[in-house]
């Protein structure tokens, strides 16, 4: 698959997300790195965003709480190139009722090749990278080939959207 470059400006669009048992860690990390974060556009989910705004004393673009769709909102922003960088302190020891949303968010971060930190050590290395305050071009597979691939039956999938008439063809193909 061919690659294409997506530019990330020196002022990054950073999503900060933390599960309940990890909020304190994220707030401590963000407070320690306040000066480094201050010139970037910061997004956060629900309660995490409220706490960060209070502690950091600069505007945070607050989205829904994770279980109420915030994780999916961030995933959509990654797809739309509105998030460049994800710091997601999730709790691997706590069962989550919205675990599919968490997996979907992490999947989008990988699919769209954005830097992702899931713990404090990785976040420290990423925020202190010389690439952090420079323009950076990340490589992303050119998904145009995937979107226009031929599916069973010889038809192009076009945009990737399935039309109403396509369901009859799919159902027929499954029965044959």
Strands (E), 10-121: 13-18, 41-45, 61-63, 85-89, 116-117
List C-alpha distances in Å: 146 to 2, 27, 149, 162: 11, 39, 5, 14
Over residues 48-98, the pLDDT tens digits come to: 999 999 999 999 999 999 889 999 999 999 999 999 999 999 888 877 666
Mean pLDDT of the chain: 87
Check if the beta carbon of residue 16 is closer than 8 Å to that of residue 85.
no
Kindly tell me if the per-residue pLDDT of 46 is higher than 60: yes
Q: Give 35 or 171, the one with higher predicted confidence.
A: 35
Range 5-30 average pLDDT: 95
Kindly tell me if the per-residue pLDDT of 170 is higher than 80: no
Quick one: three-class SS letters along 108-165?
HHHHCCCCEECCHHHHHHHHCCCCCCCCEEEEEECCHHHHCCEECCCEECCCCCCCHH
Which residue in 109, 93, 95, 23 sits closest to 65, CA to CA? 23
pTM: 0.82
pLDDT band at 154 (very low <50, low <70, confident <90, very high): low
Check if the beta carbon of residue 12 is closer than 8 Å to that of residue 38.
no
pLDDT band at 174 (very low <50, low <70, confident <90, very high): very low
Helices (H) and strands (E) in the chain, counts: 8, 9
Active site residue 71: yes
Which residue in 146, 132, 35, 54 sits closest to 44, CA to CA? 54
Please give the share of the chain, as a percent, with pLDDT higher than 70: 85
Which residue in 43, 38, 41 sits closest to 17, CA to CA? 43
What is the pairing mode between strands 13-18 and 41-45?
parallel
| Torsion 126-62-70-113 (CA) sign | negative
Instruction: Identify the pLDDT of residue 161.
Output: 52
Catalytic position from the list 71, 84, 124, 134:
71
Over residues 72-86, the pLDDT tens digits come to: 999 999 999 999 999
């Amino acid at each position: 698959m061919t690659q294409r470059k997506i530019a990330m400006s020196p002022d990054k669009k950073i999503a900060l997300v933390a599960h309940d048992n990890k909020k304190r860690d994220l707030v401590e990390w963000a407070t320690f790195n306040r000066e480094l974060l201050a010139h970037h556009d910061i997004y956060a989910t629900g309660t995490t965003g409220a706490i960060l705004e209070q502690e950091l004393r600069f505007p945070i673009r607050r989205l829904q709480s994770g279980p109420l769709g915030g994780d999916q909102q961030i995933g959509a922003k990654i797809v739309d190139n509105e998030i460049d960088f994800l710091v997601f302190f999730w709790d691997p020891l706590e069962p989550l009722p919205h675990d599919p949303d968490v997996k979907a968010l992490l999947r989008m971060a990988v699919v769209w090749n954005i830097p992702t930190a899931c713990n404090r050590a990785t976040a420290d290395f990423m925020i202190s990278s010389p690439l952090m305050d420079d323009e950076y071009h990340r490589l992303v597979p050119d998904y145009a080939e995937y979107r226009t691939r031929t599916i069973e039956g010889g038809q192009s999938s076009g945009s990737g959207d399935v039309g109403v008439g396509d369901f009859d063809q799919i159902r027929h193909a499954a029965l044959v």
